[in-house]
Structure 1
Amino acid sequence: MIEVKNLIKSFPDKDVLKNISAKFETAKANLIIGRSGAGKTVLLKCMIGLMQPTSGSILYDGRDLTKMSKHELLQLRSELGMLFQGSALFDSMSVLENVLFPMDMFSNASKAERIDKAEGLLERVGLIDAKKKFPSEISGGMMKRAAIARALALDPKYLFCDEPNSGLDPKTSLTIDELIYGLTKELGITTVINTHDMNSVRNIGDHIIFIRKGIKEWEGTNKEISEGPETLQHFINATLNL
């Protein structure tokens, strides 16, 4: 579990995060939702150590990221998997080589073991037949699946996904949602997803943090949104411009 306590992030001209407290639960799809500029990307960057919060705590199973030494932070980062908005695959590497990359860098396993694991991950995301292809030769949805396989290469305890459905059509978006959700349950990891896609909220939102203008406006589940007061649904939809 990840717990954020009284998190504040200020820049010289603006307070972006305003005293946010929230829990991100293990083996659940935890969604951070809000319109562009709401502060959700800054929150995600603080949570993975790319930004230093002005004040507050970020606890990984009780370990406070904001108080970690460089060595401790390096250890924590080895437990994080990251799915970037644009997939961030290396154009000069095949799909298989992209998945192998983090293992080649950080794993002590033999080459044969690394290849076996990478192929197993590609099998799990439905890309084994595309392992020799390059990113330019596959679709956007396939690139996302390859990036998911790479994010899981080092067996992370925590998986962060930044706008995983960006640029995808509704059918492919649903496939990516279902894949991330299935892997979250299967592997028992803490998954945090940054999104403004209400279809993702409805389909896989085990736990949802709704941010508006740097303030946590609401926290709950997709069931509570769909079955809750009509005013709640209208408020969230209106804020996201839906």
Structure 2
Amino acid sequence: MIQVKSLYKEFAGKEVIKGIDATFEAGKTNLIIGRSGAGKSVFVKCMIGLIQPDKGEILFDGRDITQMDKPELLRLRREMGMLFQGSALFDSMTVIENVLFPMEMFSSDSYDKSHHRALELLDRVGLADAADKYPAEISGGMMKRTAIARAIALNPKYLFCDEPNSGLDPKTSTVIDQLIYEITKEYNITTIVNTHDMNSVHAIGDKIIYIHHGIKEWEGTSADLSQPNLPESVVHFINAGRL
């Protein structure tokens, strides 16, 4: 579980995050939505320790990342998996070498054990036959699935996904959504997804928070989006097709 309490951040005298409170539970896909410039990216960067907030707490199962020194922060980051917008695979490495990379960097397991786990993960994401291919030889969707396998290689407690469907066609996006959703449940991960994809919001939104001008203006589930009492800004946002 991740708890955010009264989070504030400003840049050059302008408040970008204004007292956000939120709770993200394990085993759920927690989506963060909002217009460009609403503060979503700053909020997530505060959560993973890339930006130090001005005030507030960010508790990872009771551990406040805002109070950690560098060694503590590094230990916590080893419990995080990251799925980047552009997949961020190493072009010079094969698919399986990309998945092996975090294990070789941060795990004390033998090569054989790590290699076995990498193969298991590739099988889980449907890429067992692509292990020896290079990123340039596979599709965008396959690259994203490779990135998911790499993100969970170290059995993370927390998974952060930045626009996971960016650049993908609708059919492939659905596959990626379902994979993130299934992995979240199987491994009981606290998953945070920063997205503009309306289909993702409806398909996997166990919990959704809507940020508007740095304020958490609404929270609920995908089912709640059909309720009549949504804030006007959320309604306009949905109708504009900006998710």
Q: Is TM-score (shorter-chain normalized) higher than 0.5?
A: yes
Distance 2:19 2:110 in 1: 46
Q: Partner letter of residue 138 of structure 2?
A: I
SS at match of 1:87: coil
- Deviation readout 1:23-71 (Å, 9 max, x if unpaired): 0111000000012111111111110011111111100011111011222
Counting aligned pairs with the same residue, the percent is 65
Deviations 1:111-147 (A, max 9, x none): 1101000000000000110110111111111100000
CA distance in 1, matches of 2:157, 2:61: 10
Distance 2:242 2:160 in 1: 25
Shift of 1:14: 2.3
Please tell me whether residue 92 in structure 1 is matched to residue 74 in structure 2. no
The correspondence of residues 1-242 of structure 1 with structure 2, limited to 5 A, is: 1-226=1-226, 228-229=227-228, 232=231, 234-238=235-239, 241=242
Alpha-carbon contact 2:122-2:149 (below 8 Å) kept: yes
What is the alpha-carbon distance in structure 2 between the residues aligned to residue 158 and residue 200 of structure 1?
19
CA-based RMSD: 1.3
Shift of the 35–176 alpha-carbon distance from structure 1 to 2, 3 Å rule, reads same
SS at 2:51's partner residue? coil
What is the TM-score when the length of structure 1 is the normalising length?
0.96
**Distance in 2 between residues matched to 1:134 and 1:158, nearest whole Å:** 28
Residue identity in the other structure for 1:82: M
Contact 1:178–1:204 under 8 Å retained in 2: yes
Matched pairs, number: 241
Aligned-partner SS, 1:180: helix
The Cα of 1:234 is off from its aligned counterpart by 2.5
CA distance in 2 between partners of 1:45 and 1:213 (Å): 16
**CA displacement at 1:239 relative to structure 2:** 6.3
Letter in 2 for 1:15: E
List structure 1 runs of 4+ shifted beyond 4 angstroms. 230-233
**Is the 1:35–1:239 contact (alpha carbons within 8 Å) kept by the matching residues of 2?**
no
Q: Which runs of 5+ in 2 are unaligned?
A: none
**Aligned equivalents of 2:236, 2:205: Cα separation in 1:** 17
- Partners of 2:45 and 2:135 lie apart in 1 by 26
Q: Residue 189 of structure 1 aligns to which amino acid in structure 2?
A: I
Deviation at 1:169, TM superposition (A): 0.6
Offset of 1:235 from its aligned partner?
Answer: 3.3
Unmatched segments (≥5 aa) in structure 1: none
Secondary structure class of the residue paired with 2:153: coil
**C-alpha displacement at 1:238, in angstroms?**
4.1
User: Hey, what's the Cα distance between the residues in 2 that align with 1:231 and 1:32?
Assistant: 16
Partner Cα separation in structure 1 for residue 84 and residue 12 of structure 2: 27
